[in-house]
Amino acid sequence: MSIEILGITVLWVFLYGYVIVASIDFGAGFFAYYGRVTGKEHVISHIISRYLSPVWEVTNVFFVFFFVGLVGFFPDAAYYYGTALLIPGSIALILLAIRGSFYAFGNYGSKDNSFYLFLYGATGLLIPAALSTALTISEGGFIEEQGNKVIFLAGELVSSPYSWSVVILAIVSVLFISAVFLTYYADRAGDTPARELLRTFALFWSPPTILASFLVFASLREHNERHFNNALEIWWMFGLSLLCFLAAVLLVYKKKRFGTSFILVMLQFFFAFFGYGASHLPYILDPFITIYSGYTNPEMGMALVAAFIAGLLLLIPSLILLMRLFLFNADYVKGEK
Amino acid sequence: MELDSVTLSRMLTSLTLAFHIIFATIGVGVPVLISAAEFIGIRKKDDHYILLARRWARGFTITVAVGVVTGTCIGLQLSLLWPSFMQIAGHVISLPLFMETFAFFFEAIFLGIYLYTWDRFKKPLHHWLLSIPVIIGSSASAFFITTVNAFMNTPQGFKLEGRTITEIEPLAAMFNPATPSKVLHVLTSSYMTAAFILASLAAFAILRGRGSEYHRKALKLTMICGLIFSLATAIAGDISAKFLAEEQPEKLAAAEWHFETEKGADLIVFGTIDENNEIRNEIRIPKALSFLAGSSFDTEVIGLNEFPEDERPPLWIHYLFDSMVSIGFFALGISALFVFLSYWKKANPMKKWLLFLIVCSGPLSMLAIEFGWIYAEVGRQPWILRGYMKVAEGATQADNVGVTFLMFLALYIVLGIITVTVLLKMFRNKPAQAEFDDRFPDSPGIGQ
C-alpha cells in the first residue's frame, strides 16, 4: 500500500469513527429535546444523559483529529478548502461551539433549562447539514480558480440537487443511527418503556435513510459521472451495506438482539462510507487535489504515520477502559453506580 | 474605514485566541490544583480537601467545555483564515498539531472517567490516580501547541524555495530554539494563574464573611501553590528574556525601547514614548537590561536600529511587557507574604487588605496571561513565519471575513456571559456547607 493510500485510509477511518459517535450524540440531543416537548422526557432523558455525559468530549476529538490529520497529510487541502469553506465552515464551527458549551451548561449547570436543551437539540441536526457541504464540495463544480484566487460558488451549491440529497441523507441517518444505538442502550439498562419508544424512532427513520441513500446515488450520476461509474465498479460494497441495513431493521422489528443490530448498522455505514470513499479516489477535491498531488513531504508523512501508531497504542487501551467503565458496565448503565 | 481581509483575519484570530486562552489556561492549570487537593485529602483523611477537589472539578467541567469548543474554533480557523500559511507550514508543523490532538484525546477520555467515578473505587487513591493522565494530557497538549507557536517565531528544519518546501526534519522543527523557554513559561504561568484564580475565590468568600475552615484551607493550599508556581514563572520569564536577546533581539528591543546596540544597556521601566522615540517619565535602571539579557552588566544588547523599519514590531508592546512583569511580581509578593504570615505563629494572615489583594490576584494573573500573549504575538510582527513569510502573504483572499468576525464576536459574548452565569448559579445554589453535610454526614462538620 502506498503511503498516500495509507494516509487517506487513516483519515477516512477517523471520519467514519466521527460519523458513528457524532450521529449518536447529535441524534440523542434531538430525541432528548423531542422527549421534553412531547412530555415523554422522563422515559428517555436519563438513558441519554447517562450515556452522553462521560463521552461527549471524546466525540469532539474525533472531529478535530480528522481535520488536523487532513491538513497534516494533505496541506494543499488547507489551501483550497480553507478558502472555499470560510462561511460554511464558520457556521459549522459556531453551531459546534453552541452545542458543546450548551450541553455542559444544561447538564452540569441548569438541568431544567429548556432553552439550553433546545439549542443542544436543534444544532444536532444543523451541524451534519453544515459539515456535509464539505463532502459535497469535494465532488467538484463548486470551486473555481481564477489566477491566484480560489472562488467558492455558493449559488451553485445552494441550487444543486446533489447537495440537498447529501444534506437529507446526513440528517436522517443521524437520527437512524442514534435511535438504533439508544434502543440497544435502553435494552441493556433493562428499561423497557425507553426501549420501546426509541425502537419506534429507529423503525420510523429506517425507510427515509435508505431512500435518501438512493437519492444521493441518483443525483451523483448527474453531478459527477466519473465518481458514479467508479462506484458501480465496487457495487458489492453497497450491496453488502443494503443487506446489513435489512438485517438490522429486521432484528429491531422482531425485538431481538439489539446489540447485533447496532453492529449491523455500523457495518451498513462502514460499507457505504468506504465504498463512497474508495470510488472518490484518487481525488480529494475534484479536480484540484488528488492524494498524490496534495500529499505532504514523505519525511513528514512517515513522522505522522509513526505518531499515529504511537498514539493508537495509547488511545485504544484508554478507550477500552472508558467503554468498560461506562458503556459496557451493566451496573452503570442501569444507574446503580 | 474599509478593512481588508488581512486586518480582519488578524482581528478574528486575535479575538478567538484571546477568548480561548482564558479557558485554555484554566484547563491546563486547574487539574494540577484539583489533583493536589484530592491527594492531600486522602493522605490527611480530611474531607474538606476532598470536597474542595470535587467542587473545583465541577466548575472545571464548564470551563473545559468552553475551552474545547473555542479550541476547535481556533484549530479550524488556522486553515480558514490563513490558508496560504497552512499550505506551506502544514508540511512542517503537522506533527505537533497531530500529537496535540492525541494529548487532547487522552485528556478527554480520562477527564470523563475522573468526573464520573468519584464513588466507584474502594480505595480513594485509585480515583486520585486518574487525575494524573488528565494532568499529563492537558500539559502535553499545551506543550505540543506551544512548539507550533515557537516554530513560527524561530522556524527551522526545512528549506523553502518559492512555495516549495524541501528537506523537512519534523523533530528539528518541533524542538526549535524557542521551544524550551516558551513551553516552560506557558506551563508555569498556567499553573500559577489557576492557583491565584482559585485563591481569589476562597479569599472572596472569607472577605464576605462566608468563610469557614474549608475556605481557609483552600486559601492556604492555593497560596502555597501560587508561591511555588509564581517563583517558577519568574525563573521561566528570565530564561525567556535571555532567549529573546539571543534569538529574537528585535522582540526584546521593541519591548524595552532599546534602539542602539550597546554594552551595559539600561532597563526602562514604564514611561511614555513620543513619535520621535523620545522616552519620558521612565524609571531607568542602569545596565539592568544587559543583566537581564545575559547575566552580566556588560552584555551587548542588540538595538532596534539594526532592523529595517518594515521589520520592526510596534513599540506599544512595551506597556504590555511591563504590565505582565509587574503583575507577576505582585502575585509573587502577596503569596510570599501570605505564606510567611501563616507560618509565623504570632501573625494573622487573614487581614482584610491582604485578602482584598488576593481577590485581585486571580483576575490580574489572567490579565497578565493575555498581556504576555499579545506581547509575544505582536512582538513578531510583521512576520507570520519569522524570516520567511509576512502576515499579509498568509491571509485568506476570501471576502466575508468581516461577517465571520461579527458572528464569532456575538458567539463569544454569549458564551462568556452564560459561562459566568452558570458558574455563579452552580455554586450559589449549593454552598460548601450544605454540600459538605450532604456528602459527608459522619464528618464533624465544616466549622466556622
Q: Residue A15 is placed in which grid cell?
A: 471520519
| Closest to B415 measured CA to CA, from A93, A112, A89, A131 | A93
SS3 B396: coil
Chain A to chain B Cβ contacts (< 8 Å)? 218
Work out how many domains chain A is built from and give that number.
1
Model confidence band, residue B407 (pLDDT cutoffs 50, 70, 90): very high
Cβ pair B72:A75 closer than 8 A: no
A317 touches chain B (CB under 8 A): no
- Is residue B131 scored above 60 in pLDDT? yes
Cβ pair A304:B94 closer than 8 A: yes
Angle, to 10 degrees, between the axis of helix A41-73 and the axis of helix A3-37?
Answer: 160
- Is residue B193 scored above 80 in pLDDT? yes
pLDDT in tens, B139-188: 999 999 999 999 988 888 888 887 777 788 888 888 999 899 999 999 99
pLDDT of residue B324: 93
Model confidence band, residue B226 (pLDDT cutoffs 50, 70, 90): very high
Nearest to B68 among A57, A67, A303 (CB): A57
d(CA A31, CA A44) in angstroms, rounded, equals: 8
pLDDT of residue B197: 95
10 Å Cβ neighbour count for A61? 24
pLDDT of residue B198: 95
Instruction: Give percent of chain B above pLDDT 90.
Output: 39
- DSSP string over B67-121: HHHHHHHHHHHHHHH-HHHHHHHHHHHHHHHHHHHHHHHHHHHHHHHHHT-TTT-
d(CA B418, CA A101) in angstroms, rounded, equals: 9
pLDDT of residue A330: 65
B100 touches chain A (CB under 8 A): yes
| Contact between residue A197 and residue A32 where contact means Cβ atoms under 8 Å apart | no
| Closest to A326 measured CA to CA, from A33, A28, A43, A58 | A58
Chain B residue with minimal CA distance to A312?
B102
Enumerate residues 6+ apart whose C-beta is below 8 A from A51.
Answer: A24, A28, A182, A185, A326, A327
B401 touches chain A (CB under 8 A): yes
| Closest to A215 measured CA to CA, from A163, A267, A272, A140 | A163
For residue B165, the chain A residues in CB contact (below 8 A) are 297
- The strand pair at B389-390 and B279-280 is best described as unpaired
SS3 B400: coil
pLDDT in tens, B320-360: 999 999 999 999 999 999 999 888 877 777 888 899 999 99
Nearest to A104 among B65, B86, B89 (CB): B65
For residue A150, the chain B residues in CB contact (below 8 A) are 83, 397-398
Top pLDDT among A58 and B419 is at B419
- The residue type found at A38 is T
Rounded to the nearest angstrom, the minimum Cα separation between B3 and chain A is 17
Cβ pair B65:A72 closer than 8 A: no
pLDDT of residue A71: 82
| Closest to B226 measured CA to CA, from B336, B129, B139, B82 | B336
pLDDT of residue B412: 94
* Best mutation target, B20, B81, B102, to test chain A (most A CBs within 10 A): B102
Cβ pair A75:B90 closer than 8 A: yes
pTM over 0.90: no
- The residue type found at A106 is G
Cβ pair A75:B87 closer than 8 A: yes
pLDDT of residue B61: 87
Nearest to B98 among A57, A68, A319 (CB): A68
Rounded alpha-carbon distances, angstroms, from residue B432 to A26, A74, A317, B307? 35, 52, 37, 58
pLDDT in tens, B250-306: 888 888 888 888 887 888 888 888 777 788 888 888 777 887 888 788 888 888 888
- Is residue B222 scored above 70 in pLDDT? yes
For residue B418, the chain A residues in CB contact (below 8 A) are 101, 105
pLDDT of residue B14: 93
Angle, to 10 degrees, between the axis of helix A75-84 and the axis of helix A114-137?
Answer: 120
A91 touches chain B (CB under 8 A): yes
- DSSP string over B117-150: -TTT-SSHHHHHHTHHHHHHHHHHHHHHHHHHHH
* Phi and psi torsions of B444, nearest 5°: -65, -5
Q: Which structural domain, as residue segments, surrounds residue A298?
A: 3-334
For residue B89, the chain A residues in CB contact (below 8 A) are 75
Taking the alpha carbons at both ends of chain B, their separation in whole angstroms is 60
Cβ pair B113:A321 closer than 8 A: yes
pLDDT of residue B38: 93
Lowest mean per-residue pLDDT among A108-112, B20-24, B151-155, B393-397: A108-112
pLDDT of residue B447: 47
Section B37-46 average pLDDT:
92
pLDDT of residue A112: 65
pLDDT of residue B253: 87
* Best mutation target, A49, A71, A113, A331, to test chain B (most B CBs within 10 A): A71
For residue B71, the chain A residues in CB contact (below 8 A) are 64
Enumerate residues 6+ apart whose C-beta is below 8 A from B235.
Answer: B188
Rounded to the nearest angstrom, the minimum Cα separation between B425 and chain A is 8
- The residue type found at A320 is I
d(CA A97, CA B23) in angstroms, rounded, equals: 14
- Report for B77-91, B188-202, B284-298: range of highest mean pLDDT: B188-202
Q: In tens digits, what is the pLDDT along chain A, a chain of 337 residues?
A: 677 788 788 888 888 888 888 888 888 888 888 887 777 766 777 777 776 766 777 777 778 888 888 888 888 887 888 887 888 888 888 988 888 888 778 777 666 677 777 887 888 888 888 888 878 887 777 777 777 777 777 777 777 888 888 888 888 888 888 888 888 888 877 777 777 777 887 788 888 888 888 888 788 777 777 877 887 888 888 888 889 888 888 887 887 787 888 888 888 888 888 888 888 777 777 677 777 776 777 778 888 888 877 877 877 777 788 777 776 666 766 666 6
pLDDT of residue B410: 94
pLDDT of residue B357: 93
10 Å Cβ neighbour count for A298? 11
- Is residue B192 scored above 90 in pLDDT? yes
| Contact between residue A69 and residue B98 where contact means Cβ atoms under 8 Å apart | yes
B91 touches chain A (CB under 8 A): yes
Nearest to A65 among B79, B105, B403 (CB): B105
Chain A, residues 265-284, CB within 8 A of chain B, namely none
Nearest to B72 among A55, A96, A152 (CB): A96
